[in-house]
Structure 1
Amino acid sequence: MTGRLVHTGQVVVDLVMAVPALPPHGGDVFASSANLLPGGGFNVMAAAARSGAQVLYAGSHGIGFFGDLARSALAAEGVALAHEPLSEVDTGIVVVWVDATGERTFTTSTGAEGRLRAELLDQVTPKTDDVVYLSGYSWLHETNRGALIEWLPRLPGSKVLFDPGPLITDIDPGDLHALLSTIDVLSCNAREAEALGELPPVAVVREGAKGCRVHENGRITDVPGFPVDVVDTTGAGDTHCGVLAAELLRGSTVLDAAVRANAAAALSVTRRGPATAPGREEIDQLLEATT
């Protein structure tokens, strides 16, 4: 593996609270636990790094307590930073409610990660063997969107992996169409795929416990999941996407990469927290046990 994962999305800090159910309108519930953890794009990068990928965070990050927490976590995973922290604002936070079924619900407060300026991206020069990760969230921050629109046409042939995210319907349809015509691989869940309608030539559609469906130039292949006891689904999609990217960097086919991504996502939902991606050896062990 010689290339890197160049992540252009957003790292935030998650306040994760386990609740029996979401509170009713105007109501209140007691959380059985609460944890402050790095999240957002961090989950994708941690998953890729734990599968052996070199990772560069090309997004922006802020000063203050949350920015310090995010940078410390990135350093612990061996993720390199492309930029110094912005001086005017801290990194943003996301409140994550995880209910008794393992489902999660989010509320986001944007910080420095939504202020990626063009002059910062100009300092990042991907190589032909890199995988560049794009997040749909970037197109919901006007500054990030503008910087990426200027930067992407200058890529030297790097493979582009796009994850539109749950707010896909909030992305301008024209922007979305332009993106889908230029990316190499789409990674999304089934609800997002339905919102898109027509998929690009290469797409990996995550279907939860069922696994995923790989679309490759007109051919559709179901890649089954791995049965596990679900504890917390937070970050499972990010784990899947990060491991998918790591395997593509190794030169794996999309189908082979999807198998390992399914295994990684299955292991991640057996643990609480957003950044619960397994290491490469754990994935190997699960694959060996089920073959």
Structure 2
Amino acid sequence: MGKIVVIGSINMDISTELHDLPQIGETIKGSNVGISPGGKGANQAVAAAKLGGDVMMVGMIGDDAFGADALANLNSHCIDVTNVWTVPETTGLAMILRENGDNRIIVAPGANNAWLDELPLETIIANASILLLQNEIPFTVTEKAVDIARLYDVPTIFDPAPVDQFPLSFLRKITYLTPNETEFKQLPEDILQDETKAVLVTQGKNGVEVHDESGVNHVPAFPVDVADSTGAGDTFNGAFAVAMTSGKNLQDAVAFANKAAALSTTKIGAQTGMPKLSEIEESGT
């Protein structure tokens, strides 16, 4: 199995449940406070590692207690953290307010925006078998990483979340794009040119729509009882990277990732819900 390099965000998530949102100047009580590791980059790395992937995480943490916790979490999953760098900033934080089943999320990027110029991206990417990216770090870093990957013929997977006005020239450099159906509608048309081999549109309970040179194919969802969909997209991306570095063809890789994402929704929490390889193997078809 080849090396999966994830370049992206590392956060800590702080969540609480509210009966009502506070008004300006008002203080209210919350309940069921939770603190857990997150960030789309770290989530993807953990998902891949739990499925047996050989994973390196590349990212920034702050010189604070949250940074130490985030690093310890990555280490606990046997992820290579050689290139997780500490900078004099706060670790990225996501503050999640849950009100009557709805989420409101405030993200403070912190260290995720403080990328170091001396980071040896070329050496890191040259030794990768696949490169996994998202959009929670400065776009200049992501764009540079993709250009380096092209030089060394390293396939790239890009989850365009949170969605932005990406240059079409950039999107066409990506090997596999993995938007959800809402994000897909916001991307330019005619992406399938140049180096893009497939666009994988994740549709939750409706499965995945695969756009490639053969046309549009649908991979049905794996049926589960959903408890919490948080992190399902990150699980899909991590699992897809594992499948591709294991030698699966595109269709089988999508089916594997689809199942992993579905199983992740049967448990509460993003990283805690991500399945291990044994769970996928035991789940049947």
Q: Whole-Å Cα distance in 2 between the matches of residues 97 and 284 of structure 1?
A: 35
Task: Specify the code of the residue in structure 2 equivalent to 1:36.
Answer: I
TM-score, normalised to structure 2's length?
0.87
Change (3 A) 1:76 1:127: same
Matched residue type, 1:183: I
Q: Find the counterpart in structure 2 of residue 39 from structure 1.
A: 38
Task: Give the TM-score normalised by structure 1.
Answer: 0.86
Which residue of structure 1 aligns with residue 172 of structure 2?
181
**Residues 30, 285 of structure 1: alpha-carbon distance in 2 compared, 3 angstrom cutoff:** farther
Residues 1:152 and 2:159 aligned together? no
Q: Is the 8 A contact 1:121 1:147 kept in 2?
A: no
* Distance verdict in 2 for CA 1:159–1:25, change over 3 Å: farther
Equivalent in the alignment of 2:109: 110
The corresponding residue for 1:162 is 158
Equivalent position SS for 1:13? strand
**Deviation, structure 1 residue 78:** 0.7
The alignment-based identity, stated in percent, is: 28
Contact 2:231/2:270 (<8 A) preserved: yes
Question: Which is worse superposed, 221-230 or 233-242?
Answer: 221-230
What is aligned with 1:204? 200
RMSD, aligned α-carbons = 2.3
Aligned-partner SS, 1:108: strand
88 and 128 in structure 1: CA distance in 2 versus 1, 3 angstrom threshold: closer
Residue 15 of structure 2 aligns with which residue? Answer: 16
Unpaired segments ≥5 residues, structure 1: none
Report the alpha carbon displacement of residue 62 of structure 1 after superposing the two structures with TM: 1.9
Contact between 2:87 and 2:111, CA under 8 Å: does it hold in 1?
no
**CA 1:129–1:219 in structure 2 vs 1: closer, same or farther (change >3 Å)?**
farther
> Number of paired residues?
275
String of CA shifts for 1:18-41, please: whole Å, max 9, x gaps: 456x73865887655221111012
Name the SS for the 1:274 alignment partner.
Answer: coil
Gaps in structure 2 of 5+ consecutive residues: none
Q: Which residue of 2 aligns with 1:77?
A: 77
What residue in structure 2 maps to residue 280 of structure 1? 277
CA distance in 1, matches of 2:229, 2:124: 34
Other structure's SS at 2:184 match: helix
Q: Is the CA contact (8 Å cut-off) linking 1:225 and 1:262 kept in structure 2?
A: yes
Structure 2 partner of 1:244: 240
Note closer, same or farther for the CA distance 1:30–1:283 as it changes in structure 2 (3 Å cut).
farther
Query: CA 1:91/1:161 → structure 2, altered by over 3 Å: closer, same or farther?
Result: same
Classify the secondary structure of the residue corresponding to 2:177: strand
Name the CA distance, whole Å, in 2 between partners of 1:11 and 1:133.
14
| 2:259 maps to 1:263 | yes
Moved more, 126-135 or 47-56: 126-135
1:249-278 CA distances to partner (integer Å, 9 max, x unpaired)? 101112111111111111111111121210
Give the structure 2 partner of residue 61 of structure 1: 61
Q: 1-side partners of 2:22 and 2:90: how far apart?
A: 31
Q: Which residue identity is paired with 2:203? A: E
Distance across 2 between alignment mates of 1:235 and 1:213: 19
Q: 1:24 to 1:65 in 2, by over 3 A?
A: closer
